[in-house]
Structure 1
Amino acid sequence: MTKLIKGVKLRLYPNKQQQAQLWQMFGNDRRVWNLMLDMTKQRYQNNPSSHFVNEYGMNYLLKQLKQEYPYLKDSDATSFLVVNHNLVQAFKMLFKHRGGYPRFKSRHAAKQSYTGRSVCIVIAKRRMKLPKLGSIRTSKTSQAVNGKIKRYTVSYGPTGRYYLSLQVETVTPEALPKTGKTVGLDVGIADLAISSDGEKFGTFNAKWLEKQATKWQSKYSHRKYQATVAVRQWNHNHKDVKMDLNDYRNWQRAQKQKARYQQRIANQRQDYLHKLTTALVKKYDVIVIEDLKAKNLQKNHHLA
């Protein structure tokens, strides 16, 4: 029996205490990343001919960091191993000229997350047990019941919601019954696709949500510009007390509002495509689609 790895994303509903714990964990992972990155930079500046500290060397330093910063013990220990692994991979991409130099992480970023390899347990239909957090309320856990959880990621998005992404090892699902039908799909611009049977599949439409997202995107840009000007004027006229862009909450509220509309559009589009593709797979055994990018058609005014 073959096995496969699939991703499962759940919504988290932490209480006040768990929210404080989550932000502590986000900060701890960010702290370890920044400390390791700063150590690597300082090491190279002091001695350019020195060898790069590999993943094993970074993991060896974690014990000393926990003694120097006791609050790091509040996090899942395996999350720091993932941080070191990701940092080493970033440097490997840099050495291969396939990526830029790793950057320091900021606590003001719109998205915060941490990843661990410890054991997560499904304890109820809408309950999971996570390391350091204990029992936490989630959305439906039916997809994660019959599988082995290999890795988990807790994230906080710009919409103000918490999510849990699971990497689950499960058995290959049973094949659908054969229908003996074959279809060809022609991808278009006016219609999403047209089948060889003459059936048309319309494009996804969310005009009102797109209009609201555009409006709040404009408000966000305008408010952020106003806040930037106000910060510069204040810092120029007051040398004793400095202000930061994050001290102004008006543009941040607009950022969250436009992110919510954009998330609703993305969710509805994903739901529409999932339902369409599921219906096609159940109806046909062989589906042939032309190798064509619809976006490139729009660049050619004669075709579009």
Structure 2
Amino acid sequence: MVSRAVKRAFKYRFHPSDAQAAELTRTFGCVRLVYNMALQARTEAWTLRQERVTYNATSALLTGWKKTDGLAFLNEVSSVPLQQALRHLQAAFTNFFAKRAKYPTFKSRKKSRRSAEYTTSAFRWRDGKLTLAKMDQPLDIVWSRPLPDSATPSTVTVTQDAAGRWFVSLLCDDVIEQTPASGQVGIDAGLDSLLTLSTGEKITNPRHERRDRERLARAQRDLARKEKGSANRAKARLKVARVHARIADRRRDHLHKLTTRLVRETQTIVIEDLTVRNMVKNHSLARAISDAAWRQFRTLLEYKTDWYGRNLVVVDRWFPSSRLCSTCGAHAERIPLNVRSWTCRCGTVHDRDVNAARNILAAGLAVTACGDGVRPQRGNLRSGRPSVKQEHPRATTGIPVL
């Protein structure tokens, strides 16, 4: 049996002491400050002098900032998370120049993710206990699952979410067994059913946000009545954040179990390239689309298929999977969303979602067979032609239409 070595992050919740929480809170603030100051320095250098500032230059700036009276408090926290913040900024600029992301923005005290990253020189891992730099006692981690045998973390990331929960993520080397699998499946994402498989199976949409909608609305009304800046408003904000965290946890858990099952059972998985960013502009469906988390489903599926040696094929977003008859290949007229079944002129009665999943599978197999285009075509280059074999119009002249 073939195995593959991968880098895998294991995330656990922990409960810090008062001293540890204070130290981590100071570290979060220093990391945010250093990131923002370095971003401002790089922006001003380019705007005023057309000069590009590298990571080494920002590291030298950090050394100078620590020697000033106003920023001497930067020496009170571990230097490694501060250096990692500069590396993250460098990665953000690299993605920007490669046109993979927008220009980096400043971190906000209220909205940005609170995190700090420690490398091997800034923590001690001994006998299954983790002690961070500037701390005397190890973290009280809730070991919900064991680490791989003889695993040693190479990077530790500490975060605190909006609900006030503390998490630590340990990046370790892990071995994934490449278990054999067979068959292929096409997947159509939807709202009535979260996923519809080409086998005819429909996976129910759990609608996690809808289940807690009344609780969330009540917590938000309580928050709106509190005076800004008061202690009661801070408590009400935590209640709202806890409801959101409950929804997100259940959604993530469901998607993890679903993608793991699909990857372990199937060798070739075909999905459709969906532009969720544009789809949520429809205000009638935005809430339901966000709750379905199609983008998160695809992200999980991408790295898990890579881990287990499976084939993931993404067909063009303009492929008319719902309007194409999976039996005879004929195109139907535009089908409204409220029409869940339709009859082709060949006499076949189609379930809209099952038919779409079968067409997506056929298009994906065509991609693997003849190298048809997989990526979405943009702008005027978009042809709108399906990834299946098509006859020239003159080749079908005189043939009666069924």
TM-score (norm 1): 0.74
Percent of paired sites with the same residue: 24
List gaps (5 residues or longer) in structure 1.
228-244
Query: Of residues 170, 179, 201 in structure 1, which corresponds to 2:174?
Result: 170
Distance 1:51 1:292 in 2: 39
- 1:61-83 Cα shifts (integer Å, max 9, x gaps): 33333333443233222212212
1:213 maps to 216
Deviation at 1:208, TM superposition (A): 3.7
Give distance in 2, aligned partners of 1:167 and 1:138. Answer: 15
Relative distance call for 1:193 and 1:73 in structure 2 (3 A) is same
Q: CA deviation at 1:8?
A: 1.9
> Does residue 272 in structure 1 map to residue 254 in structure 2?
yes
Aligned residue for 2:154, secondary structure, equals strand
Q: Distance in 2 between matches of 1:181 and 1:40?
A: 52
- Residues 254 and 123 (structure 1), Cα distance of their counterparts in 2 relative to 1, 3 Å cut: same
Aligned residues of 1:210 and 1:265 also touching (Cα < 8 A): no
- Extract unaligned runs of 5+ from structure 2: 287-333, 339-402
- Residue 154 of structure 1 and its aligned partner are, at CA, apart by 1.1
Paired position in structure 1 for 2:49: 49
- Return the letter of the residue paired with 1:302: P
- Indicate the SS of the match to 1:14: coil
CA distance in 2, matches of 1:183, 1:110: 39
Mapping of 1:33-112 within 5 angstroms?
Answer: 33-40=35-42, 48-49=48-49, 51-68=51-68, 69-91=71-93, 98-100=101-103, 102-103=105-106, 105-109=107-111, 111-112=113-114
- Cα shift at 1:96: 6.5
- Whole-angstrom distance in 2 between the partners of 1:7 and 1:302: 43
Q: Whole-Å Cα distance in 2 between the matches of residues 14 and 153 of structure 1? A: 14
Amino acid paired to 2:174: T
Partners of 2:52 and 2:98 in 1: CA distance: 14
Q: Out of 273-282 and 254-263, give the one that drifted further.
A: 273-282
Amino acid at match of 2:140: R
State the one-letter code of the partner of 1:262: H
CA pair 28-145 structure 1, distance change in 2 beyond 3 A: farther
- Paired residue secondary structure (2:38): helix
Give the Cα separation in 2 of the matches to 1:279 and 1:37: 43
Is the alpha carbon distance of 1:40 and 1:262 closer, same or farther for their aligned partners in structure 2, counting shifts above 3 Å?
same
Cα RMSD, aligned residues only: 3.4
Q: Distance in 2 between matches of 1:15 and 1:132?
A: 14
RCO (CA 8 Å, sep 6+): is it higher in 1 or 2? 1
Partner residue in 2 for 1:158: 162
Residue 118 of structure 1 contacts residue 131 of structure 1 at CA under 8 Å; is this kept in 2? no
Residue 272 of structure 1 deviates from its aligned partner by 1.8
Does 1:29 find its partner at 2:10? no
Whole-angstrom distance in 1 between the partners of 2:192 and 2:250 = 19
Q: How has the CA–CA distance of structure 1 residues 289 and 95 changed in structure 2, closer, same or farther, with 3 Å as cutoff?
A: closer
In the aligned structure 2, how far is the partner of 1:28 from the partner of 1:182? 50
Q: Aligned partner of 2:138: which letter?
A: S
Partner of 1:232: none
2:141 matched to 1:138?
yes
CA shift digits 1:21-61 (9 cap, x unpaired): 1112112222322433444466567xx22633321112123
Contact 1:59–1:84, Cα closer than 8 Å, also in 2: yes
CA contact (8 A) 2:8 2:172 kept: yes
Letter in 1 for 2:139: I
Does the residue aligned with 1:253 lie in a helix, a strand or coil? helix
Rg larger in structure: 2
Letter matched to residue 64 of structure 2? Q
For 1:196 and 1:36, locate their aligned partners in 2 and report how far apart those are by CA, in whole Å.
51
Tell me, yes or no, if the aligned pair for 2:81 and 2:118 is still in contact at 8 Å.
yes
CA-to-partner distance for each residue in 1:186-234, whole Å, 9 max, x for gaps? 44432223344443321114444232123323444x34xx74xxxxxxx
Instruction: Identify the structure with the greater helix proportion.
Output: 1
In the superposition, the TM-score normalised over structure 2's length comes to 0.58
Q: Deviations over 1:3-26 (max 9, x none)?
A: 212222111211111111111211
Residue in 2 that maps onto 1:4: 6
Contact 2:125 2:131 in 1 (8 A): yes
Q: 1:201 maps to which residue?
A: 203
**How many pairs were matched up?**
276
Is 1:302 the counterpart of 2:336 in the alignment? yes
The separation in 1 between residues aligned to 2:158 and 2:249, in whole angstroms, is: 19
Aligned residue for 1:21, secondary structure, equals helix
Shift of 1:159: 0.2
CA contact under 8 A between 2:187 and 2:272: conserved in structure 1? no
Distance 1:268 1:6 in 2: 21
Which deviates more, 7-16 or 197-206?
197-206
CA distance in 2, matches of 1:192, 1:124: 43
8 Å Cα contact 2:4-2:178 kept in structure 1: no
Q: C-alpha distance in 2, partners of 1:91/1:209?
A: 39
CA distance in 1, matches of 2:104, 2:256: 37
Q: Name the residue aligned to 2:392.
A: none
Question: Which one-letter code corresponds to 2:196 in the other structure?
Answer: I
